[in-house]
Amino acid sequence: MILQVDDPCDKCEQMLQPFLDRVLTDEERQAAELHLQSCSYCRARYRFEEKLRMFVRQASVETMDPQLKLKLAALRTPL
């Protein structure tokens, strides 16, 4: 039985979030990029994650009731 302690895709998966957050060291980022170049499995998942984040952000935009805006303005100190 082969113990895959160092599966490169597992490593790549662990770097996904810090990679997209741009907090990897140069070395780590290069290692991830090198792996991504040759691995379509990880590449698809990285692209998905990037799009997912955008999707969640857009889906979460909530517009405020105009009434609330008026109430907030009414809280201002009278001149």
CA separation (Å) from 47 to 3, 25, 36, 41, 65?
29, 20, 11, 10, 35
Residues that bind other proteins (CB under 8 A): 10, 13-14, 16-17, 23, 44-45, 47-49, 51-53, 55-65, 68-69, 71-73, 75-77, 79
Minimum Å gap between C-beta 1 and other proteins is 22
Minimum Å gap between C-beta 15 and other proteins is 9
> What is the residue whose two structure tokens read 């692209």?
47
Minimum Å gap between C-beta 4 and other proteins is 14
Report the residue number, 34 or 69, with the smaller CB distance to other proteins: 69
User: Which residue type sits at 14?
Assistant: Q
Report the SS3 class of residue 24.
coil
